[in-house]
Amino acid sequence: MTDIIQTLKAAISGLAAQPDEAPPFEVFYHVNPTAPENNLKITELLTWTGNNPQALVEQQELSDFIIKLSILAPFKNNLPLLTKLKSILQQTLDNIQVYTIHQVNAETYLIGQDEEGNFAGLKTTLATT
């Protein structure tokens, strides 16, 4: 678990728009009580993120999300950095999916599973729609 968290923290460390700003992503780790089950249920995601169980959730592929990010101000013209982030996520996690929980401040989770079947990834509130 600690290795994955450190790897993900290192992957986002260079993504801040300014050196004194926090990265636009947060690392998270959630123990999957039904591991090694491979699928994340939307209701579980909403529960452990503290969101309304009736919230609208949009699912997309990691590649599509990275393309959308590449046109946002913090990443504009910085596709190599995003490509590196994508590569690190793919090397570190399995079954990666991107979930956007639509609400007043939309939250997007890039979620995959570690070797033990637990969920890990990144969270952002960057608007990509």
On whether residue 18 sits in a domain, the answer given is no
Which residues form the domain of 76? 2-12+25-124
On whether residue 54 sits in a domain, the answer given is yes
Confidence (pTM) = 0.85
CB 28 within 8 Å of CB 72:
no
On whether residue 44 sits in a domain, the answer given is yes
CB 7 within 8 Å of CB 88:
yes
- Return the SS3 of 15: coil
Please calculate the CA angle 42-45-51 and round it to the nearest 5 degrees.
105
Least confident of 18-27, 80-89, 115-124: 18-27
CB 107 within 8 Å of CB 28:
no
pLDDT of residue 81: 84
Domain of residue 81, CATH code: 3.40.1460.10
Tens-place pLDDT, residues 30-75? 988 776 666 788 998 999 899 999 999 999 999 999 988 888 877 7
Residue listed under structure tokens 């997309």:
60
pLDDT of residue 129: 53
